[in-house]
A and B are shown apart, each in its own frame.
Chain A
Amino acid sequence: MNRHTDTPAGTELLDLPMPEPRTCPFGPAPVYDRLRAEAPVTRVACPTGLTAWLVSRYADVRDVLGDAERFSSRPGQVVHLMAHADPERPIGEGEFTRMDGPEYQRFRRHMGPEISSPRRLAKLRPLVRAVVDERIGALAAAGPPADLYQDFAIPVTTASIGGLVGVPYADRDLFHTAASGVFSDVTDQVQLAAAVRPLQGYLFELVRRRRVEPEDDALSRMVARAPSAEPPFSDVELVAMSAVMLVAGFDSTATALAHGVLALLNDPGQWARLRDDPSLVPGTVEEMVRLFGGGAGIVREATVDTEIGGRPVAKGDYVILAIQSANHDPEAFPDPGRLDVARDTEGHLGFGHGTHQCFGQQTARLELTVALEALVRRVPSLRLAAPLADVPFKTGTSVVGPERVPVTWDEILPAEGEGP
């Protein structure tokens, strides 16, 4: 395949640029700087065989994501990378991430009150705090060094989303296994079904149980509200919604946390700034999501003959929105590659934009904020235990980020309200 981009935009078929953490651990593949300047809307061949338009500028990415009428989500978010994904397969019952319009809104509105309302989040905060404090306590008990990704970020986000939905921590393997199938780029349809089936069976049972004996969790309330929806939600749909929350809800956030802390510790001045002024934490969380969110890019399909950034795009064409490239567009964010804990990140696209914008964003923000606040307060001496060049990055998954974040420290302070 021809890799040259120095001909007029879009006249050649480029291989889809993939993340290159070895050369660029905190940003998109370096070739995007050139694409944004010279070929902002260009034809690419994807590893799955799909041919699509790759869109790399902030303004264009935002326009496409913001217009669900011209650009449908029907193909599926990551069909450009996943062997098991087929953009033309029929939409399954409850597969709302590929729906548009009122049919789609029905799902978002059923889940919204459980995952995005200020009241719900206020109740979730103490749960997340307890989980974070417990995990930091476990790090203290085991002593340094540790892997901030597997020993901290994954357990914290797993317990948080499980607690929200109503799945006990002991049953986490079910959704961890499903997620490794869903987000792996080599799983085929058969393997995917095998990875997801045990979770679905478990959730069917749980839906039935919560209908008879409701508890104080999202699943019970979604089951209770299901008959009054228009039309009422089926058990298959309830299972689909809770499965998506669990599967999409832990590694996304854990990876953002691990990646973000890696970047902060790699830039000790920024870490010190945060430690000295924890009021910067919520802004830092946005900055982390701006830098790392959406690394795999997401796919849409044109519903009409139209154009993107002046380039004609035909009805039925696939379009890949390079979110991370958009968030590194100097037209939108000055000195975009720099991690700045005090940056104005308003309008970043790390959670996407438009009607399909991340539906877990408020819980992700909450978890990242609580975790980062606790780390800077309780483990101020936190630092990397290996050079950045030795930190391995995940391969073969659409959740782009470090595979391990080796850290060490001098002392861990007690949790608030805990004796020394």
Chain B
Amino acid sequence: MRVRADTALCVSTGSCALTAPEVFDLGEDDGVVVVLVESPPDEQRETVGRAVRACPAGVLSLAP
């Protein structure tokens, strides 16, 4: 599983970072999503999936 982030769309709601803090963070200076782990382990699939769906702006997607 690979995480993709189209950061141009980010509106800084922090939902991804709060849902899956091991995988996402919110930049302290620019307020833009930071992907901490690009290929998270499979056991995090459910949490990462929820984080991706929690983004209201369609920034995040998952590739196999």
Contact = CB atoms under 8 A, between A and B. Distances in A.
B50 A362 contact: no
A332 to B, nearest CB: 14
A66 to B, nearest CB: 7
B11 A362 contact: no
B58 A66 contact: yes
Interface size class of chain B, counting residues whose CB lies under 8 Å from the partner chain: 20 to 34
A346 B15 CA distance: 12
A117 B26 contact: yes
Contacts of A105: 10-12
A25 interface: no
Interface of A: 66, 104-105, 108-113, 115-119, 121, 225, 228, 346-347, 352-355, 357, 359, 361-362
8 contacts: A110-B31, A112-B31, A113-B29, A116-B13, A116-B18, A355-B56, A359-B12, A359-B13
A119 B26 CA distance: 9
A195 B29 CA distance: 33
Helix, strand, loop or mixed for chain A's interface? helix
A116 B26 contact: yes
B32 interface: yes
B17 A355 contact: no
Nearest to A357: B56
B26 to A, nearest CB: 4
A109 B53 CA distance: 20
B21 to A, nearest CB: 6
Contact of B10 (A109, A353, A357, A359): A109
B29 A116 contact: no
